[in-house]
Chains A and B, each alone.
Chain A
């Protein structure tokens, strides 16, 4: 059974060279990927992907994040830099500066940081 949030989250995923960091796993260091990334576990360091990023409700990220597009439902402590679209779902918490092209914020989402939009997010 999927609720609306799950449906939105599933839309962001795709097959291929997908990296999944599930619950019950801790990642430390500079994580770089060229494919889609799904995070439901714990990450400390930095995250960089040239494709889309999906941060699940159970995820705890203590890292600067850089991606092409992102859907966030979990917690991020660090700066978020998204080249295109960033979607913050109602359970999301971001402690850090957000830089993106297009932003969608659901009621209940929390952002504590500076928000920059429109062009500066592009690398």
Chain B
């Protein structure tokens, strides 16, 4: 039986009609279940943990990327299936998994195509999509054996489940047990010194960023500031419901 975790912002009046349609569709499909509402001063993780203890087989996050992020720590490594009903935004993760917004997501849940995907970890915090550092010029230690340094300031992205096909970017595979590390650097080219973007791609399982000055990294939309970041991967720890239009 599924447990539907409604994010706090879904209580807003503008989502009232969407939620009503979703609940009706779930009942029609025979997959309606207990609704748990997030609220201020209620520990989401404790609530989800409680539901898992009571034997739930699936947790459905109703909300945006942040809602999913709030429940992945509890679900990781368990047999519980994670589903998403995207409402509001941003919903990058749902898009990558091929889950449409709103009521259409109910049919994806009903079809129940399950994928086991990897989860990235940075300084003990899990991330599902990607981690990025703009103005990156620090040293990167890769798999503990070699170091990579950009010649000039560039952009670093560590992808688990990310990539924009419309911008000709490769979609990283979250089932391969590796994090796709992309470093983009502008290199002077030709007589007039025009800058051309050069992209390095490294499939890694472990990497470390060491910087003399504090730098800001953004993992799943959440910012972290520091001088030391240890990044790793937990392979196949989350079972997610994906749609036929998944991007990987």
Interface residues of A (CB under 8 A from B): 17-32, 35, 40-41, 45
How many pairs of residues, A versus B, come closer than 8 Å at their CB atoms? 64
Q: Is the interface of B mostly helix, strand, loop or mixed?
A: strand
Closest to A26 in B: B149
Contact, CB under 8 Å: B145 / A32: yes
Contact string, B133-170, partner A, CB cutoff 8 A, digits 1/0? 00000000001011111111010000000000000000
Main SS at interface, chain A: strand
A22 touches B199 (CB 8 A): yes
Contact status A24-B186, CB under 8 Å = yes
Q: How far is the CA of A31 from the CA of B144 in the complex (A)?
A: 10
Do the beta carbons of A24 and B150 come within 8 Å of each other?
Answer: yes
- When the two chains form their complex, are residues A24 and B201 in contact, meaning their CB atoms are under 8 A apart? no
Residues of B within 8 A of A29 (CB): 145-147
Can you list 16 A-B pairs with a CB-CB distance of less than 8 A? A17-B178, A21-B200, A22-B185, A22-B198, A22-B200, A23-B185, A24-B151, A24-B152, A24-B154, A24-B185, A24-B186, A26-B151, A27-B147, A30-B146, A31-B146, A41-B198
Q: Please, which residues of chain A bring their CB within 8 A of the CB of B178?
A: 17
Cβ-closest chain B residue relative to A25: B200
Best-surrounded residue of A20, A25, A29, A45 (most CB of chain B within 10 A): A25
How far, in whole Å, are A25 and B186 apart by their CA atoms in the complex? Answer: 10
Q: Are A20 and B200 in contact (CB under 8 A)?
A: yes
Smallest CB gap from A24: residue in B: B185
CB distance from A26 to the nearest CB of B (A): 5
* A35, closest chain B residue (CB): B203
B148 lies within 8 A of A19 (CB)? no
* 0/1 string, B193-215, CB within 8 A of A gives 1: 00000111111000000000000
B176 at the interface (CB under 8 A from A): yes
A-B pairs with lowest CB-CB distance, top 6: A29-B146, A24-B185, A22-B198, A24-B187, A22-B200, A20-B201
Residue of B nearest to A42 (CB): B151
Chain A residues within 8 Å of B199, by CB: 20, 22
Contact B201 A19 (CB under 8 A): yes
Q: Which residues of B contact A26 (CB under 8 A)?
A: 148-151
Say if the beta carbon of B183 comes within 8 Å of chain A.
Answer: yes
**Cross-chain contact B186 with A28 (CB below 8 angstroms):** no
**Residue contact B200 to A41, C-beta cutoff 8 Å:** yes
- Interface residues in B111-153 (C-beta closer than 8 Å to A): 143, 145-152
Q: Which residues of chain A come closer than 8 Å to B198, judged between CB atoms?
A: 22-25, 40-41
Minimum CB–CB distance for A63 against chain B, Å: 10
Beta-carbon contact of B185 and A25 below 8 Å: yes
Do B201 and A25 touch (CB < 8 A)?
no
Q: Which residue of B lies closest to A22 (CB)?
A: B198
- Kindly list chain B residues whose C-beta atoms are within 8 Å of the C-beta of A41: 198, 200
